[in-house]
Structures are given as C-alpha cells and as structure tokens.
Amino acid sequence: MKLLLTSGGVTNPSIHSALVGLLGKPISECHALCVPTAQWGHPMSAPVSVRGFVAAEPRWRNFSGLGWASLGVLELTALPTVGAQRWVPWVEEADVLLVGGGDATYLCHWMRESGLADLLPSLPDKVWVGVSAGSMVMTPRIGTDFVEWPSAPDDRTLGVVDFSIFPHLDFFPTNTMADAERWAAEIGVPAYAIDEQTAIQVVDGSVEVISEGRWKTFGV
C-alpha cells in the first residue's frame, strides 16, 4: 500500500499535495472507505465521535470532509461475520482507506481478526491515510503510554513500517517534546515525533516526512 501517516489529517497544502500525488487523480474523483474501528477501543471515543467521522462533520474537514466522490464505512468488527467474498471487493474498488484514530492495539486486533491485515500486501496501489492510531497501527510498537484498550496483550502493532510514531506533538499537555524523548528512549526502534501539521509518506519502502510544522526523529 501507499501510506500517508498523519497525526491530525490533511491539515495543510503540503500534505494535501502529497495525498493527491498518491491518489494520482483529484480527491473529488476518488472513492473512500472510512474505517472508524479504532475509536471503539478508546475511552474518550463514543458514538457521536464515530458519527462525526463517517458523516464528514466540520471537525473532520481535514480527513473525511475533503470532498471525496463518495464515502463508505468499513467497520472491521463486522467483517468476520459477513465473509470475505462480500467485503474484499469493497476494499478493492475503493481508491483510499481513511483510518481514524482511537486505540491502535484495538485496531490492530480487528485488522488481523477481519483479514484486512492479510489483504494489504495484495493492494500495492491502494492509498492508506491514517490519523493518529490509524497511522500508529502500521508501526511495530506504539509504547505503553498510548495503550488504552484494557484487553491489549502489549503495545505491539502490525509492523508494516519499521519505525514508531509519537503523534499530536504539542497538541496535548502530555505530548510535549520532553514526553516524546522519554517515549523514544523506551520504544527501542527508530521513531518520529510529529505534530498536526506533519505527515510521513511511505511508498515502496521509501520514507518522506512532509511538514509545515514541527517534528523530530529518534534513531532514524
């Protein structure tokens, strides 16, 4: 897959341009599937926040509200009960998966249980745009600070990329650069701290930071 891993979505012209480049056509011609699953694993999320994401409400103007040709919903917790013969074509026909935030370990669990994780290698031209946990799930570890799902066995995630992500730099009181440095010292893999104006693009193993804001690498 082509990955655009963000903290807060498509928040500036540089990230927007990168997204259009990955899609290969205007956003208005692209069909998107929203993946809200991570929200159910986080105590700060609720039905109203899921609704806001999938309904492209103003808060989500930098993500689901970008003006897609169509928006559908891919709820991973439902997929094991409907059968791959139904949902795999939905994914194959979409141009992009918009994967929202929440708890990355919960999202990881349901990506594996649903079969989506196994499908990803067969979708080299599909674009994955993550916000927060939707980006972190692609990393090998998220760090115990970011685990909110009580049933998570540990902080490991999919490991599609070989680096970890500290999101929302300077956005929350507990997401300072000092917090990121402490987190990076414990994570044990190369890592990036990124703010809401930063994204990490990964295509064919090539990693590029796209930013109009603040970011830092650790061991990269």
**Tell me, what's the pLDDT at 71?**
97
pLDDT for 220 beyond 80: no
Residues in the chain: 220
pLDDT in tens, 122-135: 999 999 999 999 99
pLDDT (average), residues 150-170 = 97
CA distance linking residue 117 with residue 120, whole number of Å: 6
Domains of the chain: 2-218 (3.40.50.880)
pLDDT (average), residues 103-126 = 97
Strand order in the sheet with 215-218: 164-166, 191-194, 215-218
Range with the poorest average pLDDT among 4-8, 53-57, 193-197: 53-57
| Matching residue, tokens 């956005």 | 171
Select from 70, 162, 33, 159 the least CA-distant residue to 108.
159
| Matching residue, tokens 């899609």 | 23
pLDDT for 121 beyond 90: yes
pLDDT (average), residues 79-96 = 96
For residue 106, name the pLDDT band (cuts at 50, 70, 90).
very high
CA distance linking residue 139 with residue 107, whole number of Å: 12
**Tell me, what's the pLDDT at 43?**
80
For residue 52, how many other CB atoms are within 10 A of its CB? 18
For residue 3, how many other CB atoms are within 10 A of its CB? 22
CA distance linking residue 162 with residue 200, whole number of Å: 13
Select from 1, 9, 3, 6 the least CA-distant residue to 56.
9
In Å, how far are 14, 63, 165, 198 from 208, measured between CA atoms?
12, 20, 14, 11
pLDDT (average), residues 200-218 = 97
pLDDT for 174 beyond 80: yes
In Å, how far are 80, 136, 198, 219 from 185, measured between CA atoms?
38, 17, 21, 10
pLDDT for 45 beyond 90: no
**Tell me, what's the pLDDT at 158?**
98
Of all residues in the chain, the percent with pLDDT exceeding 70 is: 100
DSSP H or E segment with residue 2:
strand 2-6
pLDDT for 44 beyond 90: no
Strand order in the sheet with 96-99: 70-73, 31-35, 96-99, 127-131, 2-6, 198-203, 206-211
Is there a contact between 188 and 163 (Cβ–Cβ < 8 Å)?
no
How far the first Cα of the chain sits from its last, in Å, is 22
pLDDT (average), residues 165-170 = 97
pLDDT (average), residues 101-110 = 98
**Tell me, what's the pLDDT at 48?**
87
**Tell me, what's the pLDDT at 46?**
80
CA distance linking residue 78 with residue 101, whole number of Å: 18
